[in-house]
Chain A
Amino acid sequence: MTQFLQQMVNGIVLGATYGLIALGYTMVYGIIQLINFAHGEIFMVGAFAGLFTFARLPTALQTRPLLALPLVIVSAVVVSVTTSLLVERLAYRPLRRASRLAPLITAIGVSIALQELVRLFYPLPDGRLGAKSPVSFPRLVNGPPVDLGGVTIARVSLFVVAVAIVLMLGLQAFVRTTRTGKAMRATAQDPDTAKLMGIDTDKIIVITFAIGAALAGIAGVMQGMRFVQIDFRIGFIAGLKAFTAAVLGGIGNITGAVLGGFVLGIVEVMATQYVPKGSQWKDVWAFVVLIAVLVFRPSGLLGERVATRA
């Protein structure tokens, strides 16, 4: 039983990261119906930007995580958002009226290009260029793990889940209550009518990309802190799983993305633990879940119908 609860906790922590990335997928898809394949790479770029800043802080700051952490997060957000907006402006926007296939292929190109740029040109602290092998990441949130009746939770995991929940609630409130949030909902529902009502839809799309990228950047730092190392490939597989989470929750639905993230995290951890030889198949469970959802409930847990949206 303790083991089960422990795995449950691990699954929730894992799912928090998936959920944060999934929000970016779900919001962009909700507004322009584009699967932004490059979103996982935005997450990876954020992690590397955070590390870049940390490695160049004076030692006095490096040893004080509480002062260093905000700087790391801010730089991750800035770089992620900048990258994402550049990609939107240069690669996606010119194709807004093109056939459906073109932006998808472009997104794959962007994803490969971003991975390769980091692999070849990321400036390591020792002056060499290129993060060809995994690089270590600071834990930043230290301290003894919390013990809840046999279930141990690392401090950093608690921090990750707390940050994720705060951000999700904040985003939910933003979309529900602010004027911009209302404009976003209108654009998602019907971009042409929204434009007629005086909404600058291009601006709304940019804001959507920016919010998604900011969340992905933060998720990147969280991932680095939890696994204490990052490499240029982390975005690809994390992006796929986050997309699965978004579909699982019902694509276009913010609460759904978060819920999907948690469910997927728990499923993955449980399957790895309890299915014989489950760890060999660690990266397969997400796809099995994805295919199962598409077969039995394509609208996702909380979504509306998508089958007719051709």
Chain B
Amino acid sequence: MKRALRPLGLAGAVAAVVGCLTPWATFFFGYPGKVTLSGFPGGARLYPLILAVAAGVLLLVDVHGRRRSGLMAALGGLAIAGYNAVAIAKDGGGLGAVAFGAWLTLAGTALLAAAHSFGKEESAIAHSRFPNVKAPAPVELLIIAGSLAALLYVVVLSLKIEESTRFVSFVAFLGFAASALQRVDAFEWLQSVFDRHRQVTLGAAAIAAIAFPFTQAGSSYWLRVFASIGVFAAAAIGLNIVVGLAGLLDLGYIAFFGVGAYTGALLGSAARTTYDTHWPFLLVVLIGATVAAVFGVVIGAPTLRLRGDYLAIVTLGFGEIFRISAFNLDWLTRGPNGIAGVPDLGLGQFNFGETHQVFGVTLPGFANYYFVELVLLAAVILMFTRLNDSRIGRAWVAIREDETAAAAMGINTVRMKLLAFAMGAFIAGAAGTVNAHVAASAAPDSFTFLESILLLAAVVLGGMGTVPGALLGSAALFVLPEKLRAFQDKRLLLFGLALILMMRFRPEGIVPSRRRQRELHDEDGADAMGTVAAP
């Protein structure tokens, strides 16, 4: 019986591939991706095709974890084909609109999934040695370049896709493909390759980031988007210190960002303010960040002595107090209208709002802000990683895991928690000050509870305690609402559900910190956690 599974699965793979090359819709009604044509995998048909081929290959090649990986790939193909079939039936007015190719793909991927799920229990290779495999240095460098290019390509592609259905298919594809890759330890291996060539990786990433504005041919649209993601990500990394490292839940984090923004607007010679101050930008950033940190200490000092839960409520309260104050203190904040007309930055003779010529390439004004965000982000990331690797970072993690034990080990828990809180506030303040210039204004509406929740969601979804997680989370939270216009109204509902599901099934986030993942999934680790968490 079992012997018949492999040919059956392979037949499924062939069927799915053929299905993806034949039409999915019986007639043309404007469904994206030319799904009425045959001979090439247009539109969303490409994704099940790739997944089916991968699942088919995994039937033939024996690697550790292939059963679960193949099952994931097959299920991904099934899900994407099913979703598109439903969408085609809905748009085309009934099941008659769904053509043979779609049914064939569904049947094929279902067969593949069955073959993998009822197949041999585990592969002959008991333990994966894959993460320790070393390739020659030039090959590894090529792999690094290739994966960075692939990452960039994925980002650009996801920005380019216009239609909602196709975008959902694409995101589903990324999710299932990543999950299939993870089950054959591909990411662990990539990570080890990156670690072996750390400087090269960082250098390549930096060069790509710096070169980006030169490729935009004077247009500022994407620069604007990336600058906004940058400032959001900088704040998210700051929040990650508080939530991810020290384990303190801050629900009013946006208030510190707001303190920075108002400081920047008040001191940075805004046109519409009652005070006429013209202080240099770098000084203003420092002042904004420091003022925010002082607020952090003032809020944190009384509450951090108590159980952590109180902090959540008090920070939430502080966030609301800040917003209502900004709304009501007309003499300082100009009330609901906010402070508008914050001028472009200037350092010496250099005006950041103007177009500049560099190496014969015209850079729009926004490119300057893009670079400012890049510097800010780099500084924040450096701060985060250095702190994380230091004695202070280890103290924070110890407090997060077990406060009583940490105190017994001689850590001054109150002081350390206060430091984390102030540090997070400092970073948010700096990001806020910069943002006042980028957004050219500061108004109370930008600092609602919802914004705090968005930042928290970026950290939680991306991965608590990691930099890539916070970056990925911020980018996703910025790009997804742009793309999913069809779901615009249900955006918040999806956030809420995502938070619940994430905590239930993958509390370590999309990009987990390695230490955390070990704690959460390792057998012994799970036991240890259970005993610790019991009251």
Task: Name A's B-contacting residues (CB within 8 A).
Answer: 33-35, 91, 94-95, 97-106, 108-117, 120, 191-192, 240, 243-244, 247, 277, 280-281, 283-284, 286-288, 290-291, 294-295, 298, 306-307, 309-310
Contacts and interface: CB of A to CB of B under 8 A. Distances in A.
Contact of A99 (B247, B317, B327, B498): B247
Interface string B224-261: 00000000000000000001000101010000000000
B271 interface: no
Counting chain B CB atoms within 10 Å of each CB, the highest count among A98, A117, A277 belongs to: A98
Contacts of B400: 99
Interface stretch (B47-55, B153-161, B301-309): B301-309
A90 B314 CA distance: 27
Contacts of B314: 287, 290-291, 294
B529 A99 contact: yes
A101 B499 CA distance: 12
B305 A240 contact: no
A109 B493 contact: no
B503 A283 contact: no
Contacts of A295: 302
B530 A97 contact: yes
Interface of B: 243, 247, 249, 251, 302-303, 305-310, 312-314, 316-318, 320-321, 324-325, 327-328, 400-401, 403-404, 453, 456, 460, 489-490, 492-493, 495-500, 503-504, 507, 529-530, 533-535
Given A291-B302, A306-B307, A108 B453 contact: yes
B301 to A, nearest CB: 9
A7 B498 CA distance: 44
Given A98-B533, A105-B460, A116-B496, A284 B310 contact: no
Contact of B507 (A34, A102, A277): A102
A111 B507 CA distance: 18
Given A113-B500, A306-B307, A290 B493 contact: no
Nearest to B464: A101
Given A35-B309, A290-B317, A283 B495 contact: no
Contacts of A307: 305-307
Contacts of A101: 243, 247, 249
Nearest to B531: A97
Contacts, number: 139
Given A280-B328, A291-B314, A112 B499 contact: yes
A38 B453 CA distance: 15
Nearest to A190: B535
Given A91-B500, A109-B497, A111-B496, 8 more contacts: A97-B533, A98-B533, A112-B453, A280-B328, A281-B328, A284-B320, A294-B310, A294-B314
A306 B497 CA distance: 32
Given A113-B497, A291-B317, A120 B309 contact: no
Contact of A95 (B307, B308, B503): B503
A307 B310 CA distance: 10
A200 B492 CA distance: 37
Contacts of A310: 307, 403-404
B312 A35 contact: yes
Contacts of A97: 529-530, 533-534
B505 to A, nearest CB: 9
30 contacts: A34-B309, A35-B313, A91-B504, A97-B529, A98-B529, A98-B533, A99-B533, A101-B249, A108-B251, A108-B453, A109-B496, A112-B453, A112-B496, A112-B499, A113-B496, A117-B493, A240-B313, A240-B316, A243-B313, A244-B313, A281-B328, A283-B320, A284-B324, A287-B317, A294-B302, A294-B303, A294-B306, A298-B305, A298-B310, A310-B403
Contacts of A110: 496, 500
A138 to B, nearest CB: 29
Contacts of A105: 249, 456, 460, 499, 503
Contacts of A104: 249, 309, 312
Contacts of A283: 320, 324
Contact of A277 (B309, B310, B328, B500): B328
Counting chain B CB atoms within 10 Å of each CB, the highest count among A105, A191, A244, A309 belongs to: A105
Contacts of B320: 240, 283-284, 287
A247 B310 contact: yes
Given A240-B316, A307-B305, A100 B533 contact: yes
A100 B496 contact: no
B503 A109 contact: yes
B305 A106 contact: no
A35 B504 CA distance: 18
Nearest to B530: A97
A108 to B, nearest CB: 6
B205 to A, nearest CB: 30
Contact of B498 (A100, A109, A288): A109
B497 to A, nearest CB: 6
A234 to B, nearest CB: 15
Nearest to A109: B499
A307 to B, nearest CB: 6
B328 A120 contact: no
| 3 tightest A-B CB contacts, nearest first | A109-B499, A113-B496, A287-B317
Given A108-B499, A277-B328, A291-B302, A309 B530 contact: no
Nearest to B319: A287
A126 to B, nearest CB: 19
A283 B533 CA distance: 35
Contacts of A95: 503-504
Counting chain B CB atoms within 10 Å of each CB, the highest count among A94, A101, A117, A120 belongs to: A101
A248 to B, nearest CB: 12
Contacts of A103: 503
A120 B307 contact: no
Given A101-B249, A108-B453, A116 B535 contact: no
Contacts of B317: 240, 286-287, 290-291
Nearest to A106: B503
A286 to B, nearest CB: 8
B239 to A, nearest CB: 13
A115 B495 CA distance: 12
Nearest to A95: B503
A34 B530 CA distance: 17
Nearest to A291: B314
Contacts of B309: 33-35, 100, 104
Contacts of A294: 302-303, 306, 310, 314
Counting chain B CB atoms within 10 Å of each CB, the highest count among A112, A281, A288 belongs to: A112
A309 B316 contact: no
Nearest to A112: B496
A120 B507 contact: no
